[in-house]
Amino acid sequence: MAHLAYLGVLAACLLGTGWLELALRTGVYRRGRRLTLSVLPVVAVFTAWDLYAIARGHWTFDVRRTTGWLLPGHLPVEELAFFVVIPVCSVLAFEAVRVVRGWPVGDEPHVEPAPGPGPPR
């Protein structure tokens, strides 16, 4: 079971934030392009960084904590999953705060304010 520890942490992160999409209707998964543009740079930079560190012998992974499935460059599949899951969870958490606080995203359709009584006199 120890070999699934890394994946277990990632699953816990997804479970810990995934419900926000449904409960608060954050719309993170509906806006796939925005999510991809948010996550892709993180994946690219940190994957390159890890591959460099692995190649130089500065970075290793405990094979007892991973599945043993390696991508090119000896990068564990869990590490790549980490670079996707953690940013997605971060975006979900941020969007949840934004929804609760009522902060605009910036791409909402323009809606005229409803006529009201005006400023207090």
In a domain, 18, yes or no: yes
Contact 6, 86 (CB under 8 A): no
Whether residue 91 is predicted with pLDDT greater than 90 in this model: the reply is: yes
In a domain, 110, yes or no: no
Whether residue 58 is predicted with pLDDT greater than 70 in this model: the reply is: yes
Percentage of the chain beyond pLDDT 70 is: 85
In a domain, 33, yes or no: yes
In a domain, 9, yes or no: yes
Q: Which pLDDT score is estimated for 1?
A: 58
Output the average pLDDT for the chain: 87
In a domain, 119, yes or no: no
In a domain, 49, yes or no: yes
In a domain, 112, yes or no: no
Quote the domain boundaries for residue 7. Answer: 2-101
Whether residue 47 is predicted with pLDDT greater than 70 in this model: the reply is: yes
Q: Which pLDDT score is estimated for 61?
A: 87
Whether residue 118 is predicted with pLDDT greater than 60 in this model: the reply is: no
Q: Which pLDDT score is estimated for 85?
A: 95
